[in-house]
């Protein structure tokens, strides 16, 4: 295979996974979107590793489209950052396996705080999915790397789920270009919005 074949193969694997995800979206998303829409506090996203990086992007997308949100690294959470989370918040916990120890270690405190918990995981029978009030689960055929272990396909799926939730909430709230410009006045996008 050529270098370009490697690239095309990886893209094809991830594209196929998104096609499969589209077929998996069902009624389990309805209560989740309702909980997020009616959240009286903030949406908090947590995870570690690649899930943490995706969680940061997810929080940024929520915040810029009208849903107040922030990211808490799961490890930092158990070292004091759980103090940022309140009863009125909704917490999205990301773990591909649903067994990530750093994420699971947040559960007892979150239970006492009283924030609602939403798992995003590939394992519906996992400890995380079972411990949360809601779970968005997904399946995929393989990671995109040649040894099948690097978080590639799985992290792309979670990124797409996050984008879809943010966009759905944005539309449900009738978020306008003017609203977006209020939160995004800088850069070329801010300049473009100021001229429209």
**Residue 185 lies in domain:** 3-194
Pairing of strands 69-73, 43-47: parallel
**Conformational region of residue 6, where left means phi above 0, alpha means psi within -120 to 50, and beta covers everything else:** alpha
Do 165 and 179 touch, CB atoms closer than 8 A? no
Domain CATH code at residue 56: 3.40.50.10490
Structure tokens at 139: 């399946």
Q: How many domains does the chain have?
A: 1
Do 61 and 82 touch, CB atoms closer than 8 A? no
Instruction: Give residue-wise pLDDT tens across range 7-47.
Output: 999 999 999 999 999 999 999 999 999 999 999 999 999 99
The predicted pLDDT at position 97 comes to: 97
Instruction: Give residue-wise pLDDT tens across range 105-116.
Output: 999 999 999 999
For residue 146, count other CB atoms closer than 10 A to its CB.
11
Below-50 pLDDT ranges, the chain = none
- Closest alpha carbon to 52 in 85, 74, 76: 74
**Conformational region of residue 187, where left means phi above 0, alpha means psi within -120 to 50, and beta covers everything else:** left
CA distance 96 to 90: 19
């Amino acid at each position: 295979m050529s270098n370009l074949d490697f690239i095309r193969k990886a893209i094809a694997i991830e594209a196929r996974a998104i096609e499969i995800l589209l077929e998996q979206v069902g009624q389990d998303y309805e209560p989740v979107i309702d909980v997020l829409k009616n959240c009286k506090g903030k949406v908090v996203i947590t995870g570690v590793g690649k899930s943490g990086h995706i969680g940061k992007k997810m929080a940024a997308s929520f915040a810029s489209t009208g849903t107040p949100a922030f990211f808490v690294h799961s490890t930092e959470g158990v070292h004091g950052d759980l103090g940022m989370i309140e009863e009125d918040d909704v917490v999205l916990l990301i773990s591909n396996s649903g067994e990530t120890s750093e994420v699971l270690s947040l559960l007892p405190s979150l239970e006492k705080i009283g924030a609602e918990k939403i798992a995003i995981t590939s394992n519906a029978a996992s400890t995380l999915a079972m411990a949360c009030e809601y779970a968005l689960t997904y399946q995929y055929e393989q990671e995109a790397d040649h040894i099948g272990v690097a978080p590639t396909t799985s992290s792309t799926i979670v990124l797409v789920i996050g984008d879809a939730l943010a966009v759905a909430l944005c539309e449900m709230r009738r978020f306008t270009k003017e609203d977006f410009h209020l939160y995004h006045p800088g850069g070329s996008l801010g300049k473009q919005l100021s001229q429209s």
